[in-house]
Structure 1
Amino acid sequence: MDYSPPKKRSRLPREVWKWLQSLELAISPRNIRRDFSNGCLVAEIFSWYFPEDFSLHSYHNGVSLGTKQSNWSQIEKVLVKRRISLMKESINGTIHCKPGAAEALIQEIYTLLTNRRIQTVQEEALDFSDQSYQEHLPMVARATASKAIKNNLRLSEELAENNISTTQSKIHNIIHRHVELRREERIQNPPW
């Protein structure tokens, strides 16, 4: 099986790729965001360290939101039993395929299971929005408020959240962040 890193540039450090390769996973991860979102590969990784707790036949390799939530619920139950906790933001970001979330989760798992520290993720605050990307764009190319909502709120997040007021709150926060960014731009560049 080919375990070379994917052609698309990933933010996983080389040592983490080597570790993933050493586990000889059933499916070679190609698209980190997609391949780890349903939890099957995460369960397989944990099964190498805790084989008695993770029976891989009970995890389904599907892409529906229900399948993802079911798999992650099983994983979280076993981790609670083992007194292992993963950051909820990383798990939710991974489920909803947020940029950088799966990479952060994999590095967190790597750190937990190998007792090795990685400089890249542990020192950075987790932010799965497109704000840093937008800040690097010229002002005329930056997203509008409606595009910011579309970029930062996945449909699967809306479907997973049963409470409409929580979804509205997320939308309000995205718009507020967008307005604040525009306000800062105008202060920094008054003639524009």
Structure 2
Amino acid sequence: MLSYPEAPKRTGVPREVIKWLQSLDLSYCPRNYRRDLSNGFITAEIFSWYYPDDIQMHSFGNGKSLNTKLGNWSQLEKFFIKRNLNFSKELIDGTIHCKPGAAELLLQEIYVMVTHRRVKGIQDGDVDFTDRHYQDGLPMVARSTATKAVKSNITLSEILAEPDIDVNKQKVQAVISDHYQQRQRERMADPSQTDSQTNVTFKEINVNQGDRSYVSSSLSSTTPPSTLSGP
């Protein structure tokens, strides 16, 4: 029987970061970082300890809906700008949409920022919240098709947060392009490997008018990566 590596459920957080988090006496201590940091409530609570005059917790909700997440993070982004705290858009979006490793990296960056301490192994440079590392660990026959790659790397909440179908097409095309580039590299290493052609179609996603206007105002600053070309 073939044995495949498990998909990474979460990235480890250094012990010193966990101890620091526990010392803050938060309303609850996150255990599943990807889920618990997604709505921004814990992030707001952490910063309220260091900037009590800027963060008022009564204005943050602790729900799981997309509207709650976007509302909380919209407030946090304004606070980050005011205090000149630099978090990448990719990191924030990755945390909102529960991308593997994003919440853990965000937590470590917050720790470094507010304690002025170093964390061993913290990631520098470009971030990659796709499942590429997991796929590289699989046998060739078990790796994703282009369609599966899209499903694995673009979440429903991402699509709902950006109702513009053209923007979502660009995201899908970026995933497919990366998938086929990886396949080409694999074929160069092993010419016996072949790919089947995959057709991807797009459908308009219905979003309630109230949600659409809210999402549009909350994420008006979101733009597709400059390296992508239009459909």
**Equivalent residues in 2 for 1:27-176, closer than 5 Å:** 27-123=28-124, 125-176=126-177
Q: Distance in 1 between matches of 2:68 and 2:163?
A: 17
Alpha-carbon offset, residue 191 of structure 1: 3.3
Q: Distance in 1 between matches of 2:128 and 2:166?
A: 22
Alpha-carbon offset, residue 61 of structure 1: 0.5
Alpha-carbon offset, residue 122 of structure 1: 3.2
Q: Which moved more, 1:73-82 or 1:132-141?
A: 73-82
Q: Which moved more, 1:171-180 or 1:8-17?
A: 8-17
Alpha-carbon offset, residue 181 of structure 1: 1.1
Aligned residues between the structures: 185
Alpha-carbon offset, residue 165 of structure 1: 1.1
Structure 1: gaps spanning 5 or more residues: 1-7
Alpha-carbon offset, residue 9 of structure 1: 6.0
Q: CA RMSD in A?
A: 1.4
Q: TM-score, normalised by structure 1?
A: 0.92
More RCO (CA 8 Å, sep 6+): 2
Counterpart amino acid of residue 91 in structure 2: S
> CA contact under 8 A between 2:10 and 2:34: conserved in structure 1?
no
Q: Deviations over 1:90-120 (max 9, x none)?
A: 1100000000000111111111101112232
Q: TM-score, normalised by structure 2?
A: 0.77
**Equivalent residue, structure 2, for 1:4:** none
Q: Distance in 1 between matches of 2:79 and 2:176?
A: 37
**Equivalent residue, structure 1, for 2:182:** 181
Counterpart amino acid of residue 102 in structure 1: A
Q: Distance in 2 between matches of 1:122 and 1:102?
A: 13
Secondary structure, aligned partner of 1:15: helix
Secondary structure, aligned partner of 2:122: helix
Counterpart amino acid of residue 47 in structure 1: S
Secondary structure, aligned partner of 1:120: coil
> CA contact under 8 A between 2:10 and 2:100: conserved in structure 1?
no
Structure 2: gaps spanning 5 or more residues: 1-8, 194-231
